[in-house]
Amino acid sequence: MKTCDITLFVNKENYSMTIPVNRTLLQVLRDDLGLMGTKYGCGTGECGSCTVLMDDKPILACLTLAALASREKIITIEGLEEDGILHPVQEAFIEKNAVQCGFCTPGMIMKSTALLAKNSTPTEAEIKGYLEGNICRCTGYVKIIDAVQYASKQMNR
Amino acid sequence: MASIIGKRIPKIDAKAKVTGRAVYAGDLKFPGMLYGKIVRCMEYAHARVLNLDTSEAQKFPGVVKVLSPEDVTQKKYSNWVIDLFYPKGFAELVGDVEDQSIFTKYVRHQGDAICGIIAKTEEIAEAAARLIKVEYEALPVYHTAAQARKEDAVQIDPGKPGNLAFQLPEQVFPGNTYGWGDAEALMKEADLVVEDTFYVPKVKQCQMENHTYISLYDDEGRMNCWTSTQMPKPVQTKISNLFEIPMSKVKINQTTIGGAFGVKLGMIMEPEACAMAMSVPGKHVMVSALREEDWVMSESRHPGEYSIKVGLKKDGTPVACTANFLTNGGGYYSHASGAPAVAGTWIIGMYKFQACNFKCQRYYTNQMNCGAYRGYGNPQSNFVLEQIIDRGLKKLDIDPVDWRKKWHKTTGDDGWMLGVPYSSCALDACLDQGAEAFGWVKKKEAYKTQTGTKRRGIGVAVMNHTSGAFPFLHEHSTCTVKLNEDASAEIITSASDLGTGAHTALQQIAAETLGFDMDKVHMKVGDSDAAGYDIGAHASRTIYVSGTAVLKACNDALDQILEKAAISLETDKEALEIIDLKVCVKTDPDTFISVEQICYEGVNAFIDGATGQRIGVPGQIQGYSSHYAEHNSPPFGACFVEVEVDTQTGEVKVIEVVSSHDIGKAIHPPSVEGQLEGGVQQGLGMALTEETYYNEQGLCVNGNFTDYQMFGPSDMPVCKSILVEEPDPIGPYGAKSCGESGLVAPTGAAGNAIYDAVGIQFTGAPITPEKILKAIKEFGLDSDAILPFGYGCKDGGIPNLK
């Protein structure tokens, strides 16, 4: 397999590495950088468990070649917390009991964070629409939607 | 101290999960870890392996070992664990067989494991897997029981003539029937008899975590397993049995469970992972399944033909009910003597019929094997029973809520397990509060006459479930409560938390009972070496059974505190009481010793040099309980569903769902709500959108999250959860179960809402827009047409053929 040199800018840190060209961002994050918060749920872009932010937009790490993410700003679930303070969306997921098995949670939180960054007061329908593509099998989405609404309120205070 | 029971506190595992720090099996890395890949048969559903050529894969750089069927134990096993809990002789009586091989030469359904590859990386293992050459001889594929029981059908298991895996055994159930009275004979006393044959679908659990298992056969000859199984202790026994090593040489490390819903009730890939690890002693081997493999190799809910007949008097009095579940069981025996029979118990447990008889037959077929999925037969029965009841009530012009209130079984009546009467029942309150919150009466009036192309409909269904499987299985949980010298505690248990919040609730029970703050109590879980027996998470048992074990172990610890305090205070134990972490003399509360001092001195009791006397009472306190449940305190529930059907497209929009649940006492209310809300998503899916489809060759055609249609965020209705708290006399702090219940009644209620909206009852799930549109066009709205079995499917006899 051909290799390429990349520099990934993940959670405010630079990582230079040589990787096979077909390596996905998800593989690099999990296996090379040890960032295990980003989850593999389907590998085919259908469940959203691997959602991370690239240049502030949510992307599916399982379908993104790491080479194409070179030099882009990548934020994973591990990068949301700042100086030990959780992001308001993380706080909201705890407060509203929006977490069950937790496997979809990192992707769900990254997606919700992206939504609130571009629309700080989304309607319920907008939240639901935006979260399409992130599958949760535990919660029926009820408390997740609650949490996003709560985070929106907290962030606008 | 304020009670912690019923408090809406954050879950104990929530922070680890929102930060991505919770460790699932796939997140583990060990030095020198190897990667296993199971080569599966993905191109046939029923075939013999004529030749297996592993030579090219063996030579592939980075491959450590290739394991063929001959290279592993030849012992057969059954991946379910419930057979372990049957009384001696019962397994033989019901005809249980162990029919699974680690790697097989006879493919019974798509996804069967053919051989295994161990390699230095996952990529190498996958590349080598593509070099395995298998030559197959295709065999006829049986999708349904009707096909499998034909005289000329290939016999799938040598011990099971006619491919009949299970029916209720004549010796215990005369006429192969469970229930009471002669329902068929009583039917003639009914004024109205309604009957039909329903199709219940082959739905999938769809847990988000892909199956990943790690095993290490270590230098002490111990098999260490990292698994997200729901049943760590039974899996320990199963692995011990399969590999013929003592239980003391099997260690289960239960990892964070990324959803299960029953799919992890037995072993999944533990046998393959352990077989691989055994071949490379001292090395960890990680084995994962791709999502497309999960879809065909793990188990589904039992689908099939569900016939039901109900007789009612003119005034609605229930007379008799007969039901027969003919289920297409899949390639292996697993759960054959469990789920199909248990399905009937939920019908037995619901209404006051004068006679009620249930039969079931499970046949070997060549679709993915069937096993445990949240509700264990109850959703199927609910979809069938609750709809046929509404068909009858419509003819008799009786309100569905009123009828259910009048005729459901209640406290003291014979339960789902005949001979075990209901200990409590708050279904009346569930129906009243649910109907009020839903606006049943108003909506019923408003939707009586509708014009236009969109039709609203409302439906109700009720259900009974269980808290543990007593007396069908032994419901045994142990717990050790270790008090540290600073008066904090470890709760050591093998009880599982599938993400439901169970560990949070168990910690609340411990904190409440001990009188400690929550942060002074720690759950020590997931370590089979540390904890005693616990049957595991099944049958909605964890709070009810494991919770009682926790409560009893804490009470045992308190008792030991009192004993030590009595010595220190030179009085009798009975003269003491514990108030705010102080053991006080009842008659003189100012004379006391603190719990902390007792705990400290228990560990650090020493001899005073000056007096030669021992200071304190020596002995670290460890409370213990080995608790066998002697009841199953069934919870009841009611569900109300409102739908809007577009009569021009057949599209269904679910507008609102109210779930009211007889919880007894909610230990952690947000977790109970979470179970109900998640149950709505899965229950509506089963009724309206979800089904695994197969082609004629028996290959799954929608094994992915795009083609298998679950309710997404925008599909979800407004959900209201009502927790009705009438404490059960047996459950810990009055609690009953909620783990599976939420999924059950939405299936029947959704069916009834569609029936109400279009005036045609759909007997086949999922009730898709295609079926609705076809029926409206063919028969007309409000025609009350009787649809033939498999209506609207490609092949009526095989409803999940695409």
Inter-chain CB proximity A138 and B20 less than 8 Å: no
Strand B133-138, strand B284-288: pairing = unpaired
Q: Work out how many CB contacts closer than 8 A connect A with B.
A: 171
Q: pLDDT tens across A113-155, in order? A: 999 999 999 999 999 999 999 999 999 999 999 999 999 999 9
Contact B231, B536 (CB under 8 A): yes
Q: pLDDT tens across B516-546, in order? A: 999 999 999 999 999 999 999 999 999 999 9
Same domain, yes or no, for A71 and A115?
A: no
Nearest CA in chain A to B668: A97
Mean pLDDT of B453-482: 96
Same domain, yes or no, for A7 and A75?
A: yes
Catalytic residue chosen out of the listed positions B570, B630, B740, B770: B740
| Type of residue at B80 | W
Inter-chain CB proximity A86 and B18 less than 8 Å: yes
Same domain, yes or no, for A63 and A95?
A: no
Residue B90 has pLDDT above 90, yes or no: no
Same domain, yes or no, for A55 and A109?
A: no
Inter-chain CB proximity B17 and A99 less than 8 Å: yes
Mean pLDDT of B103-117: 98
Q: pLDDT tens across B39-81, in order? A: 999 999 999 999 999 999 999 999 999 999 999 999 999 999 9
Nearest CA in chain B to A133: B712
Of B24, B26, B499, the CB nearest to A138: B499
CA-CA-CA-CA torsion for B339, B344, B348, B353, nearest 10 degrees? Answer: 170
Crossing angle (nearest 10°) for helices A142-155 and A105-118: 40
Mean pLDDT of B778-799: 96
Of A93, A128, A140, the CB nearest to B678: A140
Q: Residue B370: name the closest of B342, B332, B337, B396 by CA.
A: B332
Distance from CA of A101 to the nearest CA of B (A): 4
Backbone angles phi, psi at B565, to 5 degrees: -65, -35
Rounded Cα distance between B539 and B476, Å, is: 13
Chain B residues touching A35 at Cβ < 8 A? 20
Chain B residues touching A77 at Cβ < 8 A? 18-20
Same domain, yes or no, for A42 and A94?
A: no
H/E element holding B644?
strand B636-646
Contact B704, B291 (CB under 8 A): yes
Contact B569, B576 (CB under 8 A): yes
Same domain, yes or no, for A115 and A147?
A: yes
Domains B179-187+299-470+631-779 and B476-534+542-628 share a fold: yes
Of B207, B209, B674, the CB nearest to A139: B674
Chain B residues touching A104 at Cβ < 8 A? 208
More confident call, B716 vs B472: B716
Structural domain tally of chain A? Answer: 2
Q: Is B577 in a helix, a strand, or coil? A: strand
Q: pLDDT tens across B545-600, in order? A: 999 999 999 999 999 999 999 999 999 999 999 999 999 999 999 999 999 999 99
Mean pLDDT by groups of 10 residues along chain A of 157 residues: 95 97 97 97 97 97 96 96 97 98 98 98 98 98 98 96
Backbone angles phi, psi at B308, to 5 degrees: -145, 145
Same domain, yes or no, for A92 and A45?
A: no
Chain B residues touching A108 at Cβ < 8 A? none
- Residue A42, pLDDT score: 96
Residue B483 has pLDDT above 80, yes or no: yes
Chain A residues touching B18 at Cβ < 8 A? 77, 86, 90, 93-94, 99, 102, 105-106, 109
Same domain, yes or no, for A74 and A96?
A: no
Number of residues that this document lists for chain B: 802
Same domain, yes or no, for A9 and A40?
A: yes
Range B599-605 contact pairs with CB under 8 angstroms and sequence separation of 24 or more? B599/B483, B599/B484, B599/B485, B599/B486, B599/B487, B599/B561, B600/B485, B600/B486, B600/B487, B601/B564, B601/B568, B602/B483, B602/B485, B602/B564, B603/B484, B603/B485, B604/B485
- Residue B88, pLDDT score: 83
- Residue A18, pLDDT score: 97
H/E element holding B322?
strand B318-328
Same domain, yes or no, for A95 and A150?
A: yes
Contact A45, A83 (CB under 8 A): no
Mean pLDDT of chain B: 97
Beta bridge partners of B166: B362
Q: Does B259 contact chain A (CB < 8 Å)?
A: yes
Residue B99 has pLDDT above 90, yes or no: yes
Tokens 């009972």 — which residue? B513
Q: Residue A56: name the closest of A40, A67, A72 by CA.
A: A72
Q: pLDDT tens across B584-642, in order? A: 999 999 999 999 999 999 999 989 999 999 999 999 999 999 999 999 999 999 999 99
Q: Is B767 in a helix, a strand, or coil? A: coil
Sign, CA dihedral B186-B323-B685-A95, equals positive
Confidence of residue B314 (pLDDT cuts 50, 70, 90): very high
Nearest CA in chain B to A141: B713
- What is the span of the domain harbouring residue A71? 3-79
B273-307 in b/e form (b: 16+ CB < 10 A) is: bbbbbbbbeebbbbbbbbbbbbbbbbbbbbbbbbb
B residues 7..66 contacting A (CB < 8 A): 8, 10-11, 13-24, 26-27, 29
Contact B483, B492 (CB under 8 A): no
Inter-chain CB proximity A101 and B21 less than 8 Å: no
Q: Residue B11: name the closest of B623, B673, B486, B560 by CA.
A: B673
Q: What is the 3-state secondary structure (H, E, C) of chain A?
A: CCEEEEEEEECCEEEEEEEECCCEHHHHHHHHCCCCCCCCCCCCCCCCCCEEEECCEEEEHHHCEHHHHCCCEEECHHHCCECCECCHHHHHHHHCCCCCCCCCHHHHHHHHHHHHHHCCCCCHHHHHHHHCCCCCCCCCCHHHHHHHHHHHHHHCC
Tokens standing for A85? 């303070």
Tokens standing for B400? 């569905």
Contact B231, B473 (CB under 8 A): no
Inter-chain CB proximity A97 and B15 less than 8 Å: no
Contact A26, A10 (CB under 8 A): no
Inter-chain CB proximity B719 and A131 less than 8 Å: no
Which of A93, A100, A113 would best serve as a mutation to test chain B binding (most B beta carbons within 10 A)? A100
- Residue B87, pLDDT score: 82
Inter-chain CB proximity A35 and B290 less than 8 Å: no
Instruction: Supply the pTM of this predicted model.
Output: 0.98
As assigned by CATH, the class of the B179-187+299-470+631-779 domain is: alpha beta
Confidence of residue B769 (pLDDT cuts 50, 70, 90): very high
Chain B residues touching A140 at Cβ < 8 A? 677-681, 711, 716, 719
Same domain, yes or no, for A52 and A99?
A: no
Task: Read off the CATH number of the domain in which A101 is found.
Answer: 1.10.150.120
B572-591 in b/e form (b: 16+ CB < 10 A) is: eeeebebeebbbbbeeeeee
Q: Choose the final residue of a domain: A79, A108, A132.
A: A79
Beta bridge partners of B483: B489
Q: Residue B682: name the closest of B231, B375, B257, B340 by CA.
A: B375
Tokens 């490609």 — which residue? B794
B residues 337..376 contacting A (CB < 8 A): none
- Residue B565, pLDDT score: 97
Which of A97, A139, A148, A149 would best serve as a mutation to test chain B binding (most B beta carbons within 10 A)? A97
Rounded Cα distance between B293 and B376, Å, is: 23
- Residue B498, pLDDT score: 97
Strand B113-119, strand B284-288: pairing = unpaired
Sign, CA dihedral B44-B49-B50-B55, equals positive
Q: pLDDT tens across B688-697, in order? A: 999 999 999 9
Inter-chain CB proximity B10 and A97 less than 8 Å: yes
Rounded Cα distance between B421 and B438, Å, is: 31
Which one-letter DSSP state was computed for residue B543? Answer: I
* Percent of the residues in chain B that have a pLDDT greater than 90, as a whole number: 97
Q: Residue B210: name the closest of B122, B272, B295, B127 by CA.
A: B295
Active site residue B740: yes
Q: How far apart, in Å, are the Cα atoms of B717 and each of B337, B438, B564, B640?
A: 36, 13, 57, 12
- Residue B225, pLDDT score: 98
Beta bridge partners of B323: B308, B358
- Residue B140, pLDDT score: 98
Q: What fold does the segment set B476-534+542-628 form as a domain?
A: Aldehyde Oxidoreductase; domain 4 (3.30.365)
Angle at B291 between CA B287 and CA B295, to 5 degrees: 105
Task: Read off the CATH number of the domain in which A45 is found.
Answer: 3.10.20.30
- Residue B318, pLDDT score: 98
Q: How far apart, in Å, are the Cα atoms of B163 and each of B100, B156, B330, B366, B372?
A: 16, 6, 11, 11, 21
Tokens standing for B69? 């069927």
Inter-chain CB proximity A93 and B14 less than 8 Å: yes
Q: pLDDT tens across B284-300, in order? A: 999 999 999 999 999 99
Q: Choose the final residue of a domain: A79, A114, A135.
A: A79
Distance from CA of A2 to the nearest CA of B (A): 15
Which of B9, B13, B15, B19 would best serve as a mutation to test chain A binding (most A beta carbons within 10 A)? B19
- Residue A1, pLDDT score: 81
Q: Choose the final residue of a domain: A60, A79, A98.
A: A79
Q: pLDDT tens across B359-379, in order? A: 999 999 999 999 999 999 999
* Percent of the residues in chain A that have a pLDDT greater than 70, as a whole number: 100
- Residue B91, pLDDT score: 87
B residues 531..560 contacting A (CB < 8 A): none
